[in-house]
Chain A
Amino acid sequence: MKTVHYLNQFFAGMGGEEQAETPPTRLEGAVGPGKGLAAVLEGVEIAATLACGDDYFAEHEDDALAALLEMLAEIGPDVLVAGPAFGSGRYGYACARFAAAAAERGVPAVAAMHEDNPGVGEAGAAYVVPTAVNVAGMRDALPRLGALASALASGREIGSAEDEGYLVRGFRRNYVAEKTGAERAVEFLLAKLGGEARTEVGGDMDRVEPPPPVVDLSSALVALVTEAGCVPQGNPDHLQSVRAQGWFRYDLGGADTLASGRYESVHGGFDVSLANEDPNRLVPLDTVRGLERDGRVGRVHESLYTTTGNGTPVVVATRFGQEIAGELRDAGVQAVLLSGT
């Protein structure tokens, strides 16, 4: 079986940054780290090495991919191997994009780079083997990369990320388990009682440290944010009731209260009749204004941020949060009351 190995200008021995504009070039056999790779491949030989300058790829991605894919098709390998790119962002990106494109066209592909390399998110259906952050990790990376490449070339079914040593791609594959969920759950419970936590579904929520408390609320700018789908009557911007496509900012205009008939909730996940009778039940503007008058809080931010927290994917909600947080920070907001349902 044969493979094609993709390298950047540096690892292909063409030169450093000054050669970063090199267009896709075909070299015969194994080059540079490809020689180490060839030694760890099983039943696969490196038919050719394709090299491309990191800047050329970044600046002419479509042309570069077209040329590389054409060369790849001429050679007709059983697998494409790209990198290792370690921590190099441009190189990792190029490896990932080429591997993704090859995989799309039915050529199994595997790239290798550090898990924080921006290329990781660009690999599509191709596999990415994690490496150290710099070239000192070459000796460690090559055998792992070679093993997965050989497996892909052989056509055998590839197992889970954990078993085969690649980064999770986010695809879920169904399989029929030997034991029912009930049996497996009881096993996990018994294990947990014995002090061992096991799980079939990984939790990948990151954690954020609680920010320090507000030092002086009486002089603080406080913002109201809601996921309860609270919008001006009539929902002028068409906020969705489920699977929100965005968030909105509405000017409170100094109002003392969220008056019934002027605001409503379009959240599709709960009965909004109580909220529509009195929108302050979702966003307590009446109370907070009172506290502003009394000096308990400094000022109420006149922008109300709203979205519908109903069936929103985590990655989308995270993006909404980042965008809203950016505006709040730019406006100098010092504290936030967030209503959820």
Chain B
Amino acid sequence: MLAKEIERAGIPAVYVTSLPTVATMIGANRIVRGPAITHPFGLEEDDRKRIVERALAMLETDVEPNTVWEVE
């Protein structure tokens, strides 16, 4: 819901979560799948770099509603 209201204010937001199904149900638009509930942004620093970079790339990309990106 936070993501949706921030988007409603016109600010692009990326929601990083290990539960993208819930995120799409609620209506968030830019969603990146994180590895786990306990560490959505990644356990180690290099995981975090990949996940954050994926999230930033999504912020720079035009998307269809409720889009989920995986992290390689």
Residues in chain A within 8 A of chain B (CB atoms): 205-214, 217, 225, 227-228, 270-275, 280-284, 286-288, 290-291, 296-297, 307, 309, 312, 314, 317-318, 320-322, 324-326, 328-329, 333-341
In the bound complex, CA of A324 to CA of B19 (Å): 22
Q: List 16 A-B contacts (CB under 8 A).
A: A209-B65, A210-B64, A210-B65, A210-B67, A270-B38, A273-B38, A274-B38, A280-B45, A287-B48, A287-B52, A290-B49, A291-B56, A318-B4, A336-B11, A337-B52, A340-B17
* Residue in B3, B39, B62 whose CB lies within 8 Å of A281: B39
B18 to chain A, nearest CB (A): 7
Most chain A C-beta atoms within 10 Å of own C-beta, residue among B26, B38, B41, B61:
B41
Determine if A281 and B12 form an interchain contact, defined as CB atoms under 8 angstroms apart.
no
Q: Are B15 and A283 in contact (CB under 8 A)?
A: no
A326 touches B9 (CB 8 A): yes
Q: Could you say which interface size class chain B belongs to?
A: 35 or more
- Is B27 in contact with A208, judged by CB distance below 8 angstroms? yes
Given contacts A287-B48, A328-B9, contact A205 B38 (CB under 8 A): no
A291 contacts B2, C-beta separation under 8 Å: no
Structural contact, B13 and A228, CB atoms closer than 8 A: no
CB <8 Å contact, B1 and A339: no
Taking CB atoms, residues of chain A closer than 8 Å to B34 are 339
Given contacts A282-B39, A325-B9, A328-B6, 19 further A-B pairs with CB under 8 A are A211-B7, A211-B10, A211-B29, A213-B62, A214-B12, A217-B56, A280-B41, A284-B48, A287-B48, A317-B1, A321-B5, A325-B5, A335-B59, A336-B6, A336-B12, A339-B16, A340-B16, A340-B40, A341-B18
Once the chains bind, are B2 and A227 in contact (CB under 8 Å)?
Answer: yes
Q: How far is the CA of A273 from the CA of B64 in the complex (A)?
A: 36
Q: Would you give the shortest CB distance from A215 to chain B, in whole angstroms? A: 8
Contact B63 A210 (CB under 8 A): yes
- Residues of B41-72 whose CB lies within 8 A of A: 41-43, 45, 48-49, 51-52, 55-56, 59-65, 67
Question: When A205-B27, A208-B7, A282-B41 are in contact, do A338 and B13 touch as well, CB less than 8 Å?
Answer: yes
Complex Cα gap A205–B1 (Å): 10
Measured CB to CB, the closest approach of chain B to A337, in angstroms, equals 6
Q: Is the CB of B56 within 8 A of A297?
A: yes
Known: A280-B48, A318-B1. A341 touches B37 (CB 8 A): yes
A297 CA to B57 CA in the complex, in Å? 11
Give, as a whole number of angstroms, the nearest-CB distance from A323 to chain B.
Answer: 9
**Cβ–Cβ contact B14 & A337, under 8 A:** yes
A281 CB to closest chain B CB (Å) equals 4
Asked if B48 contacts A291 (CB within 8 A), the reply is no
Decide: A325 and B41 in contact? CB cutoff 8 A.
no
Known: A213-B60, A284-B48. A321 touches B6 (CB 8 A): yes
Q: Using known A-B contacts A207-B65, A318-B5, determine if residue A338 contacts B56 with beta carbons closer than 8 Å.
A: no
In the bound complex, CA of A336 to CA of B29 (Å): 13
CB pair B41 A335 closer than 8 Å: no
Pairwise interchain contact B40-A205, C-beta atoms closer than 8 A: no
Most buried by B among A208, A320, A324, A334: A208
CB closest residue in chain A, given B17: A340
Using A208-B27, A212-B62, A284-B52 as known contacts, say yes or no to A339 and B8 having CB atoms under 8 A apart. no
Q: Is the CB of A291 within 8 A of B52?
A: yes
CA distance A328 to B23 in the complex (A): 21
Contact B16 A335 (CB under 8 A): no
Q: Verify B11–A335 contact, CB threshold 8 A.
A: yes
Inter-subunit contact B2/A288 (CB<8 Å) = no
Task: Please report the C-alpha to C-alpha distance between residue A288 and residue B4 in the assembled complex, in whole angstroms.
Answer: 22
Is there an interface contact between A287 and B45, defined as CB atoms closer than 8 Å? yes
